[in-house]
Structure 1
Amino acid sequence: MKTTIDDGFAPWLVDGATFDDGFPVIEPLPETVPFPSQLIPIDKLGKGNDKHGFVHFYLADVRFRPFISHLPQRLGTLLQYDGVITPDFSVYRDAPKPVQMANVYRSRAVGSYMQRNGIPTITDVCWADKDTYGFCFKGAPHHSIVSVSTVGIMNKLDEQLVFRRGFDRMMQILEPTRVIFNGAMPEEFVAEYRSTTAFKAYPCWTRMMKELKEDSNGTR
């Protein structure tokens, strides 16, 4: 399968883009665009779900790479939804720095391409340890809406600490007006920012579907 790496990270993705220290820029989403009504995983498109919501890529990278590899052909599908959150390419703490930087670049490049093709786009922001702070916020909009994910980290103290430190740095650098949480949103993470920033948490899709099934079966 052809991937974005095969042709030099698909330079056509950034044809016409602007850059922040080499990272493609995602323009701020207008404040008139409300918080998403729901977040829909990229692998659930076309399966009878309501198209009112933002599509997200909070899955294992291998599960959404085939979609990204054929992005021009997928634009029509994405345009049926309210918008998209940029892909969450993994920035592992134990990965070499060039790999971490490449995954941040790839996320911004795909987001910039989707935005320039008319899709309302929210930037996913992710980080690893403090050594990634110099590049992991590049290309993300300031004073706008951004998205983060806590799925898979809240039951691991070390992961919580890494997230909290990076989250605080993100708030200082980007000064977002709104923040989406995919997954749990501990109040102690956001309390000090509530005077300037609006927050909204969305349950992960698997948990939400499980709860809906339990409700329909009368088991809750």
Structure 2
Amino acid sequence: MTTHISLFPPKELYYMEHTPKGVSIKTTMIPKRQRRKVIYDNMHLMEGMTFTATHSFPQMLPYNDSTDFELVSFSDRKKHTGKNEALIFFLDDYRFRNQLWCDLERTTFSISHYDYFFTPDFSLWRDLPTEYYNQQNTFRTRFVGLFWQLRGFKAIPTFSFGGLQSFSYCLEGLPSNSVIAVCGLSNRKDAQAYNIWCYALRRLEAEKHPTLILVYGPEIEIPDLHTPVKFLKDFISKRFRHG
């Protein structure tokens, strides 16, 4: 078995293999009648991906690079250079869902100058009558993250969860022994939200053994957690501090 060795880093190959609008050159060569079937729900972007056995979520790769960067919200992406900056998606889904999932190739190309990405934080809800939508959003979060990683971008996996029933799948597709990010903006709503949030981080620690947990939000005590935690100042707190 021979191993293919590329002469170019993955990110350089990404630029070489895509049009100025971010569309894969391979895709443009497919006849238009067939193209609709091939690109449905981003199926044409699965090349090189591996999937988990239980729910067939894309299996992300570990991230253990720098965490010393400035944060930029996706909503403010056009105002920054991207140099030593990480693009984050801890926002209401409507602010990024269509651009990232429905137009992933074009959007990726437009933000490719950023040095770091957090994977999109598609929402998982508590107390839904079905877990279908939460599972779909978990799939999409892993898919976008792995798509970026395979193309040479520094993508940090994010962990989201819904109610207790979501723990049968919400950790699936996250890498082990990796930096993992989680949003900490909702853990102060009430005692139940705080308890579930702490439980989620302990489950993350037990199952994925993260090297570092990045929490986007104010510092808060997390009982019985042994993994190093780095709190990232959220934009809401910054506005209040300078207001």
Q: Provide the TM-score with structure 2 as the length reference.
A: 0.76
Structure 2 CA distance for partners of 1:76 and 1:10, relative to 1, 3 Å: closer
Q: When the two structures are aligned, how many residues end up with a matched partner?
A: 201
Aligned residue number for residue 217 of structure 1? none
Aligned residue number for residue 47 of structure 2? 15
1:167 and 2:204 are equivalent in the alignment: no
**Among residues 40, 43, 61, which one is paired with 2:72 in the alignment?**
40
Q: Are the counterparts in 1 of residues 59 and 174 from structure 2 also a CA contact under 8 Å?
A: yes
Alpha-carbon separation, structure 2, partners of 1:131 and 1:155:
20
Aligned residue number for residue 150 of structure 2? 116
Alpha-carbon separation, structure 2, partners of 1:155 and 1:130:
17
Question: Match for 2:59: what amino acid?
Answer: V
SS in structure 2 at match of 1:17: coil
Deviation at 1:124, TM superposition (A): 0.7
**Among residues 229, 233, 240, which one is paired with 1:203 in the alignment?**
233
SS in structure 2 at match of 1:54: strand
Q: Any unmatched runs of 5+ in structure 2?
A: 1-38
Deviation at 1:190, TM superposition (A): 5.9
Alpha-carbon separation, structure 1, partners of 2:126 and 2:225:
27
Alpha-carbon separation, structure 2, partners of 1:191 and 1:39:
28
Q: Any unmatched runs of 5+ in structure 1?
A: 1-6, 215-220
> Rg: which structure is higher?
2
User: In percent, how many aligned pairs have the same letter?
Assistant: 23
Aligned residue number for residue 3 of structure 1? none
Q: Per-residue displacement from partner, 1:55-86 (whole Å, max 9, x unpaired)?
A: 11110111111321222112233321121111
Q: Provide the TM-score with structure 1 as the length reference.
A: 0.83
Give 1:58-97 correspondences, 5 Å limit.
58-68=90-100, 69-95=102-128, 96-97=130-131
Structure 2 CA distance for partners of 1:201 and 1:49, relative to 1, 3 Å: farther
Q: Are the counterparts in 2 of residues 144 and 177 from structure 1 also a CA contact under 8 Å?
A: yes
Question: Match for 2:228: what amino acid?
Answer: A
Q: Are the counterparts in 2 of residues 14 and 112 from structure 1 also a CA contact under 8 Å?
A: no
Question: Match for 2:75: what amino acid?
Answer: D
Question: Match for 1:104: what amino acid?
Answer: T
RMSD value over aligned CA atoms? 1.9
